[in-house]
Amino acid sequence: MQSPSDPIGEFGLIQRFFKTGANAMQSNSSITLGIGDDCALLRPATGEELAITTDMLVEGRHFLPGANPELLGRKALAVNLSDLAAMGAKPVGFTLALALPKADSAWLEGFSKGLFAMANEHSCSLVGGDTTAGPLNICITAFGNIPTGKAIRRSGAKAGDDIWVSGELGDARLTLAALHHEVSLPELDLKQIEHRMHQPTPRVELGIQLRDIATAALDISDGLLGDLKHILKESQVDAQIFLDQIPKSAILLKQSKAIQNQFAACGGDDYEICFTAPSHQRNIIEKLSNSLHLSLTRIGQTTAMKNAEAKVVLFSDDGNPISDSDTTILLKSFDHFAS
């Protein structure tokens, strides 16, 4: 939040892009004081609490060197808004800490353009930040409002709840595999799905609408099965998941069954919402899907916990449970791709 302990020698340049962008935004009534002091000041409305999340993106780890800065700006904020969505929170503001090897005007222009476009789409204001010289690193902390007690936690699922996911899973992983030449994918197909890796859409409106419907929720960033485990563990339930019911794009469905299952069940970077809800909510959820123009798909259900450790039993296309050893093989294949 200090100004220039650091500044690459060209603090003015950085400030130009971010301060201008921040000031150009519609101010949010929760924000009493924005960028430019030691701290920002936020005042949640009466009866609201503040959801807070932070994500750090590192070059070479979360994005490739030379990645398009505009898309990166969008994505850096989107992954944080996705966490807010998973709690049912409405975005309010964010801080940006940025380490840059050098003050590159073209890069900053693209990055700030993408960042503020995403921010404006969700009325989420830049309220503070820090810039320094260093290996490229983007750390955003985002804040959202939610009526007190309405946050959708990971711990609320009950045995017998339906398990749902939004959108389609696996295309971000398929894009990465194509870029790494792990799979063969026609150029036209890649063009159709690559936005799923570079431009994830935070499901903000879905999260808000789910406040009174879902019993538990999270966003899928590390792969459906791995992330679902967090809900199961926190809620102390097991789960049954039907592999063929996991929603997949027409392009992923052209791949081998093994790759379909691995990428849809275990691929990362989806930023869709996985949530649980009692079965009596099915009609309401289907109506919600229609009103949001967003597919919401039932992929299984939670079950009473059998052992101390939460477990997912997978079912194959023929409706039979997949043995533990075959499940291990499925997950192992994924590890091979991920390594």
Q: Looking only at residues 259 through 278 of this chain, which bind its own copies when binding is defined by CB under 8 A?
A: 268-269
| Closer of 99 and 185 to its own copies (Cβ) | 99
45 binds its own copies (CB under 8 A): no
- Applying the rule CB under 8 A, the residues between 22 and 41 that interact with its own copies are 32-33, 36-41
DSSP tag of 210: G
219 binds its own copies (CB under 8 A): yes
**Any idea which residue has 């009103």 for tokens?**
291
Angle value at C-alpha 26, between 136 and 127, nearest 5 degrees: 40
132 binds its own copies (CB under 8 A): yes
86 binds its own copies (CB under 8 A): yes
CB of 253 to its own copies, least distance (A): 25
Give residue 264's identity as a one-letter amino acid code.
A
For 231, 255, 324, the CA distances from 82, given in Å and listed in that order, are 16, 28, 32
- Applying the rule CB under 8 A, the residues between 99 and 118 that interact with its own copies are 99
Which residues make Cβ contacts (< 8 Å) with residue 205, sequence separation at least 6?
A: 292
Q: What is the CA radius of gyration of the chain?
A: 21
Pick the closest to residue 23 from 143, 141, 125 (CA basis): 125
Which helix (H) or strand (E) segment is 132 a member of? Answer: strand 125-133
| Closer of 172 and 193 to its own copies (Cβ) | 172
The span from the CA of 107 to the CA of 48, in Å, is 37
- Applying the rule CB under 8 A, the residues between 1 and 20 that interact with its own copies are 1-6
146 binds its own copies (CB under 8 A): yes
Encoded tokens for 160:
């017998």
| Closer of 45 and 250 to its own copies (Cβ) | 45
CB 294, CB 167: distance < 8 Å: yes
76 binds its own copies (CB under 8 A): no
Contacting its own copies (CB under 8 A), which of 26, 46, 283, 307? Answer: 46
- Applying the rule CB under 8 A, the residues between 280 and 309 that interact with its own copies are none
The sign of the dihedral angle between the CA atoms of 253, 258, 262, 265 is positive
Q: Which stretch binds its own copies (CB under 8 A): 125-133, 189-197, 243-251, 299-307?
A: 125-133
Q: Which stretch binds its own copies (CB under 8 A): 167-175, 188-196, 215-223, 314-322?
A: 215-223
CB of 263 to its own copies, least distance (A): 16
Give residue 48's identity as a one-letter amino acid code.
E
200 binds its own copies (CB under 8 A): no
